[in-house]
């Protein structure tokens, strides 16, 4: 069976905001695309809903939090992103709801992005394994918060000290979605993506996957995705247009 072809994502934008549940979520594929875009001079900011403090079995959350935040900041730096925010929700038990929407809407209003990037929030990644609960809650909240951010009367209490509504987000792009119909050529920035994943050293060690190689792992996804886009390596994204009537 021929794999479905992917369309290239538009690159006629200047500012993007990435909102994901955990440190490392962007590094499993999207970071190489981020590196490509920052290399084009685009401004990209990361926002982590949690600090991934429940992600390492052998390290208690209080000790884990600063470790994972530091790894994420370094990981971002390696792909040209020098601003990383942590919203401080509790790792593992993030709930979709109004508080999460409000927190994300506030970040959207402050950064005024044209594109918002999140992770896959479908039930699975295309196989049988179920997606993780925080990923699903955050992705759904991102879609709603982008619209909330543009409405003056939703989370109106945020509009102080010059903060204004922001309705300029054109689309939300979900990385690694099984529903992806778009892709980004990451051939030239693949290595930066590998480095950004490898920067999560404590996390990777904590997984205890003996002999696991970030490069080999990422290549296993980037090559078949590249084939669908007609390039050597690529990252897949599902596009959610944020206008009305698309
Ligand atoms: Zn995650």
| 24-68: pLDDT as tens digits | 999 999 999 999 999 999 999 999 999 999 999 999 999 999 999
Burial group, residue 43, by CB count within 10 angstroms (0-12, 13-18, 19+): middle
State the pLDDT at residue 246: 58
Distance 26 CA to ligand 1 centre (A): 8
pLDDT band at residue 210 under the 50/70/90 scheme: confident
Distance 130 CA to ligand 1 centre (A): 12
Distance 25 CA to ligand 1 centre (A): 5
State the pLDDT at residue 241: 96
- 3 state DSSP class of 11: coil
State the pLDDT at residue 2: 72
Distance 135 CA to ligand 1 centre (A): 6
Cα separation, 13 vs 51, whole angstroms: 28
Distance 204 CA to ligand 1 centre (A): 13
pTM assigned to the model = 0.97
Distance 24 CA to ligand 1 centre (A): 7
């Amino acid at each position: 069976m021929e794999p479905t072809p992917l369309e290239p994502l538009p690159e006629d934008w200047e500012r993007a905001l990435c909102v994901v549940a955990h440190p490392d979520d962007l590094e499993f594929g999207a970071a190489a695309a981020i590196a490509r875009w920052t290399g084009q001079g685009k401004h990209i900011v990361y926002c982590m809903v949690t600090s991934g403090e429940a992600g390492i079995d052998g390290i208690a959350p209080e000790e884990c939090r600063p470790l994972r935040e530091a790894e994420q900041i370094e990981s971002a730096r390696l792909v040209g992103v020098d601003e990383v925010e942590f919203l401080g929700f509790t790792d593992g038990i993030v709930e979709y709801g109004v508080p999460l929407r409000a927190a994300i809407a506030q970040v959207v209003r402050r950064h005024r992005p044209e594109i918002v990037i999140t992770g896959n929030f479908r039930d699975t990644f295309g196989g049988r394994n179920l997606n993780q609960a925080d990923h699903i809650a955050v992705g759904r909240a991102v879609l709603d918060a982008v619209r909330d951010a543009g409405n003056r009367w939703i989370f109106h209490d945020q509009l102080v000290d010059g903060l204004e509504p922001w309705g300029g987000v054109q689309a939300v792009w979900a990385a690694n979605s099984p529903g992806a119909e778009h892709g980004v050529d990451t051939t030239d920035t693949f290595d930066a993506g590998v480095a950004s994943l490898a920067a999560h050293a404590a996390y990777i060690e904590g997984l205890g996957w003996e002999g696991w190689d970030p490069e080999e792992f990422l290549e296993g996804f980037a090559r078949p995705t590249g084939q669908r886009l007609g390039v050597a390596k690529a990252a897949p994204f599902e596009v959610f247009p944020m206008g009305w009537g698309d």
